[in-house]
Amino acid sequence: MELSVIVPVKNEQENILPLLGEIRDALECRCEYEVIYINDGSTDTTPAVLAQAQREFPRLRVLTHAQSCGQSAAVMSGVRAARGEWIATLDGDGQNDPADIPNLLAVARDPAQPKNLQLIAGWRKQRKDTWLKRLSSRIANGVRSRMLNDATPDTGCGLKLIPRAVYLQLPFFNHMHRFLPALVRRNGGATISVEVHHRPRTRGISNYGLHNRLWVGIVDIFGVMWLQRRMKLPQVSEIART
């Protein structure tokens, strides 16, 4: 299987069926794929909607966290269960456009790209969020970029493509999903940012605010900096038999 689409959700009952329909429209007949939804301790009707969705979407698999563990833990649960060679992560609120996934796949398949390309990150160049979200993300992206030198304008975009094997090699911690470019580059992989569509949230309520989007992220930067300083990449060569 080429692709596993990982969608973490918490209390997104209204967005599940519309988004699944868009994923199917974007990927059907383009590649062999599966969709994995991770219900991260939802308290609304998300479990019931996912049960209904499994009857309508044969490619859908559903994992459940008994209690909410956060987006990074939900994504990791999905990656561990995935069968695809590549992982596409997608926010469950409908703001990412699944129609962008084939373009990311085309970049990954392009032989002109670096051989060690390990992350294609979405770049929401035209954000459709509130001014507070745009401001907090702009500040966090600026601070992160200066401190981590990750060469990525928008690490907060939920739409990313990464090999499953690479993802499983990365150090796991809460909020790691915001630092994938820095973590991939730390391991010697190349990253590239590709402009993607972004849409306003039309259903449901965001699970993120100023506290867990900006201040927590700034604290985490120091942990990633520590990881960067502790990593040494050896240059390995093999002695030929004589």
Per-residue pLDDT tens digits for 15-71: 999 999 999 999 999 999 999 999 999 999 999 999 999 999 999 999 999 999 999
Between CA 12 and CA 206 the distance in angstroms is: 9
pLDDT value of position 223 = 66
| Upper half-sphere CA count for residue 7 (Cβ side, 13 Å) | 28
Mean pLDDT of the chain: 86
Identify the band that residue 221 occupies on the pLDDT scale cut at 50, 70 and 90.
confident
Q: Is 234 inside any structural domain?
A: no
Q: Is 155 inside any structural domain?
A: yes
Q: Mean per-residue pLDDT for 186-208?
A: 80
Q: Is 169 inside any structural domain?
A: yes
- Check: CB of residue 200 under 8 Å from CB of residue 124: no
Between CA 87 and CA 67 the distance in angstroms is: 24
Distances (CA, A) of 98 to 67, 104, 123, 179: 27, 10, 14, 22
Write out the residue range of the structural domain in which residue 146 sits: 3-229
Q: Is 237 inside any structural domain?
A: no
- The CATH number of the domain where 156 resides is what? 3.90.550.10
Identify the band that residue 14 occupies on the pLDDT scale cut at 50, 70 and 90.
very high
Q: Is 140 inside any structural domain?
A: yes
Distances (CA, A) of 151 to 98, 108, 146, 162, 192: 24, 18, 9, 16, 8
Classify residue 162 by its DSSP letter.
E
Q: Is 236 inside any structural domain?
A: no
- Maximum separation of any 2 CA atoms in the chain, in Å: 67
- 20-24, 106-110, 206-210: least confidently modelled range: 206-210
- Check: CB of residue 104 under 8 Å from CB of residue 174: no
Classify residue 48 by its DSSP letter.
H
pLDDT value of position 176 = 84
Asked whether the predicted pLDDT for residue 5 surpasses 60, the reply is yes
User: What's the structural domain count of the chain?
Assistant: 1
- Check: CB of residue 3 under 8 Å from CB of residue 84: yes
- Check: CB of residue 86 under 8 Å from CB of residue 162: yes
Bridge partners of residue 40, in order along the sequence: 65
Collapse the DSSP code of 10 into the 3-class scheme (helix H, G, I; strand E, B; otherwise coil) and give the result.
Answer: coil
pTM of this prediction? 0.83
Tokens 């909607």 belong to 49
Asked whether the predicted pLDDT for residue 212 surpasses 60, the reply is no
Between CA 144 and CA 19 the distance in angstroms is: 30
